[in-house]
Structure 1
Amino acid sequence: MPLTLSSDDDAALVARLRAAGCVWAEDEAAVLRESATSVADLDDLVARRVAGEPLELVVGWAELCGLRVAVTPGVFVPRRRSELLALAAVAAARPGDVVVDLCCGSGALGAVVAARVPGVEVWAVDVEPAAVACARQNLVGVGGHALLGDLDAPLPERLAGRVAVIVCNAPYVPTGDVPFLPAEARLFEPLVTLDGGADGLDVQRRAAAVAPRWLAPGGTLLIETSDRQAAATVAAFEDAGLRGVRVLADDELEATVVVGVRG
């Protein structure tokens, strides 16, 4: 049950958040009140947020496609733009399918697919131990698996040629742009989850290259990218031999996803 404040105290909370640069101060105030167990606890949470810590790390969860997922320190925070990627993966999956979430972070994408498609078998992989521990927490309720390793390296061999959907939110920020990211990302999220190399697409190219080995015939690879990088992401898919490559875009979410199929 959300903590109840007087109207004056609530107004002061919103004003404090807005002064710290929180654009959606009223919404954030509501989330902080809901998460606090006491006035003292609320003060601690607000102090962390005002100091610049991402709201999701302060309260310990993020929401993606209406699903709350745990988010722990040292883990990439799911962005709302990734709802396009998650819903496209849901649309590509069928009950009972094998779904792989590469560069999984918190495992939010795999968790959304599992919540919306009955009986899918989810395998999530990340190179960061903190991310794998967080993904296990989010996938345990759906019988999912979270593995530590580089891209597809830890996947069991028995999945080769059997995967229906690979969903991947690899880092795609060019190295030269990382210093210009918001402080919330630069200071609180691992560099490996942000820095995609000189043009931002190093990990995307690697993911596209390994995807055909794991995908079943007709299986789908989906990767989040940016509108200015979409053409290069498409080229990576085509170089990997994927067919029917297309770009999905959502202007409201400011989201871009490239989709390709194993022929």
Structure 2
Amino acid sequence: MPHSPQAPLDETVRALRAAGCVFAEDEARLLLAAASGPDELAELVRRRAAGQPLEVLLGWADFCGVRVAVRAGVFVPRQRSAFLVEQAVVRARPGAVVLDLCCGSGALGLAMAAALGGLDLHAVELDPVAVRCAEGNLAPVGGRVYAGDLYDPLPAALRGRVEVIVANAPYVPTEAISLMPPEAREHEPRLALDGGPDGVDVHRRVAAGAPDWLAPGGSLLIETGRSQAGQTAAALAGAGLVPLLVESEDALCTVVVGTRPDETLP
């Protein structure tokens, strides 16, 4: 007797549940849609059960309603970071000069461009695999991707002109990386996770350089952990920015905003 149309879905769900996938039904439907046939489906299920990120297997992530291409070895955008995008969008405008630091796949900048209908978008990433991924995502919206460490590769013409800087820089304390889910610690670059002994090393560097690049009244927004928020805010204040802590209980996301004072105002 032939299998019913439901059989491949049911079998895939059972296999994913056995592997501990919490959203087995949703993942099964996505894998079925991505597979060209039974053999490819079996391979995708095997790789997912082994802990590979679903988004890498699909080749894309749905983030803020935008399809973001991802590839093996690149940080997968987290849904909680949609709150960071929301906070950045309300501080920007169509056509604004926006900088996405530690951009990974370029998801933050891409989502902002979609929400605002276009930006003068710039992004920086150190990892060469992520640079190529971000270039593919941001080129269609006119974004430029620079390979290098934080502000180092930026053109001098941007100095003092950036209205919004967004940074989902690594903020996991080094010793806590071993406690992360396998799909993160085994399949994402350590460079994208490791925030140093207290998780704030990169935040301090981002904050220190921001005033040179922000326009008067411009803002730096950094996603951080709740336990690191005070230290992140202190780093922004130490750089001369006015800090503001915003949180979303629903998204489980904490963002620290640092605004450069507008010296032109009375």
TM superposition score category, shorter chain reference: over 0.9
Which stretches in structure 1 are left out of the alignment for 5+ residues?
Answer: none
Provide the rounded CA distance (Å) in 2 between the counterparts of 1:50 and 1:119.
39
Q: Which residue of 2 aligns with 1:62?
A: 61
Name segments (4+ residues, structure 1) moved above 4 Å: none
Contact 2:124/2:145, CA 8 A, preserved across alignment: yes
After superposition, the C-alpha distances for 1:204-234 in whole angstroms (9 at most, x for unaligned) are 0100110110000010100000111111111
Matched position secondary structure for 1:228? helix
Q: Matches of residues 10-25 of structure 1 in structure 2 within 5 Å?
A: 10-25=9-24
Matched position secondary structure for 1:104? coil
Provide the rounded CA distance (Å) in 2 between the counterparts of 1:31 and 1:86.
25
| CA-atom RMSD in angstroms | 1.2
After superposition, the C-alpha distances for 1:106-129 in whole angstroms (9 at most, x for unaligned) are 000000011111231111101100
Aligned-residue offset at 1:22: 0.3
Q: Which residue of 1 aligns with 2:239?
A: 240
Matched position secondary structure for 2:196? coil
Task: Name the CA shift for 1:5/1:34 in 2 (closer, same or farther; >3 Å).
Answer: farther
Matched positions, count:
259
Q: Which residue of 1 aligns with 2:26?
A: 27
Provide the rounded CA distance (Å) in 1 between the counterparts of 2:98 and 2:69.
20
Provide the rounded CA distance (Å) in 1 between the counterparts of 2:179 and 2:122.
33
Provide the rounded CA distance (Å) in 1 between the counterparts of 2:32 and 2:11.
13
Identity %: 54
The reply to whether residue 260 of structure 1 matches residue 258 of structure 2 is yes
Task: Name the CA shift for 1:23/1:242 in 2 (closer, same or farther; >3 Å).
Answer: same
Aligned-residue offset at 1:5: 7.0
Q: Which residue of 1 aligns with 2:153?
A: 154
After superposition, the C-alpha distances for 1:2-34 in whole angstroms (9 at most, x for unaligned) are xx9722321111011011010010111111122
- Amino acid in structure 2 at the alignment position of 1:64: F
Question: Which range moves more in the overlay, 37-46 or 27-36?
Answer: 37-46
Normalising by structure 1, report the TM-score: 0.96
The reply to whether residue 249 of structure 1 matches residue 232 of structure 2 is no
Q: Which residue of 1 aligns with 2:124?
A: 125
Q: Which residue of 2 aligns with 1:179?
A: 178
Normalising by structure 2, report the TM-score: 0.95
The reply to whether residue 144 of structure 1 matches residue 143 of structure 2 is yes
The reply to whether residue 109 of structure 1 matches residue 126 of structure 2 is no
Q: Which residue of 2 aligns with 1:213?
A: 212
